[in-house]
Structure 1
Amino acid sequence: MKILIVTDAAPPQVNGVVRTLTQLQTECAELGHQVDFITPGDCFTLPNPLYPEVRLSLFAAKNIRDYLDREQPDAVHIATEGPLGCAARRVCIKENLAFTTSYHTNFPTYFYQKMRVPRALSYKVIRWFHNASAGVMVATEAVKQELRDFNITNLMDWTRGVDTSLFRPTGEKIMELKGPVYIHVGRVSLEKNINEFLDLDLDGTKVVIGGGPDLENLKKKYPDAIFTGPKFGEELVQYYNLGDVFVFPSRFDTFGLVLLEALACGVPVAAYPVNGPIDVIGDSGAGVLDHDLRKAVEGALKISPDFCREYASSFSWQNCAQQFLDNLVLIGDTRKAA
């Protein structure tokens, strides 16, 4: 099967969407399928005024049409609701091609919490975008239910995975720190609520691993915390292994791949009981979810690293890829719109 994925999220961006799509391409290739991408790198772009490192694609419709005419893919998947995703949606509808989409970020809750944009208004846009698709792939049951509540249809399961051969306990510390050590890995930006982690009154050391637009501001505001910048591959694994607890203060993620990476390294999770942590951690015992984040951290310190590792091993990227492919088979030939 030849699959086109159109996405506004692509390297050099570092986030869960990029990691998921990159791993998906690798796994699909091993299963005998070809995945091609159209990304901002293929288009004329301008920097996002809020996040300059994120490029906004303009005039992308011609590139998309040219690819479709030339390559005749068996399936088209639109991964994001940005300018490039909207262009692909418009082209597919005009060309009478069925397509699938995926829902990665809880924008309605984020816009309400930060700017008081009514969730009903944001969901109207989300509904407009996704209900035109033949299927909307969603990572968790909680997110599916929320989308159903706002009349978004054609929902399909699409789980996530973790590479347990890479993310693992190493038994080594990359640096000596006063314990307990509380870590956070991810994009350092406003919507991740990292300040709520850094504001906690905890004995020990706080470490933030990642880059983003809020990094310099947080460095100045929290001089006692350690900010490493972005880390990748084996070096990232070493930083995960610093942690006694992985603190995840986000309220807006739909899944949170970093949760699985931390657990695979034997680091228990402390988080709010919101979408993402509820589905990844739930009542598994691999972490503690509490509206009082400090209580969650204190409870997570008591969890066995071995148990966390064992729990993470139940998630695989191969299953993720197979579920994605099965969804495309259910949709059928995208050259014939539903």
Structure 2
Amino acid sequence: MRLLVASDAWQPQVNGVVRTLATTRDELVRMGHDVEVVGPDRFRTVPLPTYPEIRLAVNAGGALARIIGGFRPDAIHIATEGPIGLAARAWCLRQGMPFTTAYHTRFPEYVRDRAPVPLALTYALVRRFHAPASAVMVATASIEADLRARGFTNLRRWSRGVDTALFRPQDKGWLDLPRPVFAYVGRVAVEKNVEAFLALDLPGSKLVVGDGPQRAELAARYPNARFVGAKSGEELSRHYAAADCFVFPSKSDTFGLVLLEALASGVPVAAYPVPGPLDVVGTGGPGVLDTDLRNACLAALDIDPAACRAHALTFSWRAAAEQFLANLRPVHEKGLPLAA
């Protein structure tokens, strides 16, 4: 199959959406499929207000139409609701071609955290964006139930996996910080609620791995925390494994890929009992979910690292890629010939 993925989130951005798309692409290629990801790197871009690390495509419609025509995909997947996603959606609707979408980010909550925009308005806009899709892929049961209650239709499950070869238990001794080490990995941005972690009264040390628009501000306000910036590959895996507890303060993630990466590293999770942690970690297992995040952090220290690793091993990227593939709708069903 020749699959075209249109996404406003793509390399060199570093986030869970990009990791999910890149890993899914790699799995599909190993399965024998031809995957073309069309991201902001193909177009002229401008920085996203309040988040300059993210670039938004400008006037993508014409160039995107040429890319789609030249690639002649068998299926089209629209990953995001940004300018590229909107351009791809418009092209599919004009051509009468089916497409699938995904709900990666709780965009209404993202907007609400930055501007006084009612959730009802942004959810109406997002619901309208996804309405024509033959399938709207969601990562967890909690998000599916929430969107269904908000009037979304054609919802299909698309789970996630974890690279258990890269993320694995390793020696903790190289990290010269007082123990226990409570770590956060991810974007340092307002929607991630990182300050809820940094403000906790905890023993030992706090480690923040990642970058984002709030990093300088939070590093200045919490000088006792160690901010080490964004990491990747083996360096990232070493930082995960060096922690004694992984703290996930976000209340607005749709999944939380970092949860699986921490668990695969043998590190227990402390989080709020909200969608994402409830689906990935559950209750009474490899982490502690509590409305009191400090209590969750302290209790998580007693969890067996082997139980964390065993839980992560149940998540496979191959199974997630096969699930994604099964959700696609071939465009030739609407008259476009299959690619040769």
Q: TM-score range by the shorter chain?
A: over 0.9
**What corresponds to 2:50 in structure 1?**
50
CA distance in 1, matches of 2:200, 2:10: 33
TM-score by length of 1: 0.96
Partner of 2:35: 35
Work out the CA distance in 1 between the residues paired with 2:332 and 2:19: 25
Question: What's 1:153 paired with?
Answer: 153
Aligned CA distance change for structure 1 residues 225 and 334 (closer, same or farther; 3 Å) = farther
Asked whether 1:83 is paired with 2:83, we answer yes
Q: Per the alignment, in what secondary structure is the counterpart of residue 266 of structure 2?
A: coil
Q: Deviations over 1:202-239 (max 9, x none)?
A: 01100000111111111101000000001110011111
Q: Shift in Å at residue 116 of structure 1?
A: 4.2
Q: Does 1:333 align with 2:313?
A: no
User: 1:236 and 1:73 mapped to 2: Cα distance?
Assistant: 35
Match in the other structure for 1:323? 323
Superimposed CA distance per residue, residues 113-166 of structure 1 (whole angstroms, 9 cap, x where no aligned partner): 554422211110111100111110000010001110111100011000000011
Tell me, in whole angstroms, the C-alpha distance in 2 between the residues paired with 1:269 and 1:61.
43
Show the counterpart of 1:239: 239
The change in CA–CA distance for 1:143 and 1:162 in structure 2 (over 3 A counts) is same
Which residue number corresponds to residue 117 of structure 1?
A: 117
Taking the aligned partners of 2:5 and 2:117, their CA distance within structure 1 comes to 30
Aligned length: 335
Contact 2:113 2:191 (8 Å CA) reproduced? no
Percent of aligned positions that are identical = 51
d(CA) in 2 for partners of 1:111 and 1:58?
20
Equivalent residue runs for 1:61-80 within 5 Å: 61-80=61-80
Q: Look up the SS of the partner of 1:56 in the other structure.
A: strand
- Distance in 1, Cα, partners of 2:90 & 2:301: 49
In the alignment, residue 208 of structure 1 is paired with which amino acid? V
Residue 248 (structure 1) aligns with = 248
SS in 1 for 2:51: coil
Distance apart, 1:335 and its partner CA:
5.7
Alpha-carbon offset, residue 49 of structure 1: 1.8
Q: 1:102 corresponds to which letter in structure 2?
A: A
Q: Whole-Å Cα distance in 2 between the matches of residues 221 and 195 of structure 1? A: 10
Match of 2:6 in 1: 6
CA distance in 2: counterparts of 1:301 and 1:116, whole angstroms: 38
The 3 A distance-change label for structure 1 pair 173 and 335 is farther
What TM-score, normalized by structure 2, do the two folds share?
A: 0.96
Q: Is the 8 A contact 2:6 2:85 kept in 1?
A: yes
Does the 8 A contact of 1:185 with 1:208 survive in 2?
yes
**How far apart, CA to CA, are the structure 1 residues paired with 2:69 and 2:108?**
35
Match for residue 201 of structure 2?
201
Q: Could you tell me how far apart the structure 1 residues matched to 2:166 and 2:332 are? A: 36
State how far apart, in whole Å, the 1-side matches of 2:54 and 2:190 are.
15
Separation in 2, partners of 1:256, 1:275: 9
Who is 1:287 aligned against? Answer: 287
1:131 equivalent in structure 2: 131
Deviation at 1:109, TM superposition (A): 2.9
Contact 2:78 2:101 in 1 (8 A): yes
Q: Aligned partner of 2:272: which letter?
A: Y
Query: What residue in structure 1 maps to residue 309 of structure 2?
Result: 309
Q: Distance in 1 between matches of 2:113 and 2:192?
A: 12
Residue identity opposite 2:245 in structure 1: V
> Which stretches in structure 1 are left out of the alignment for 5+ residues?
none
**Contact 2:9–2:39 under 8 Å retained in 1:** yes
Distance in 1 (CA, whole Å) between partners of 2:213 and 2:111 is: 18
Aligned partners of 2:284, 2:323: CA distance in 1, in Å? 23
What per-residue deviation string (whole Å, max 9, x for no partner) do you get for residues 261-317 of structure 1?
A: 000000000001111111001125110111110011111111000000000000011
DSSP-derived class of the 1:241 partner: helix
Quote the RMSD (CA, aligned, Å): 1.3
2:163 maps to a residue whose letter is D
Q: Which amino acid letter does the alignment assign opposite residue 155 of structure 1?
A: L
Q: Which residue type is aligned with residue 72 of structure 1?
A: R
Q: Is the 8 A contact 1:43 1:60 kept in 2?
A: yes
| Letter matched to residue 180 of structure 2 | P
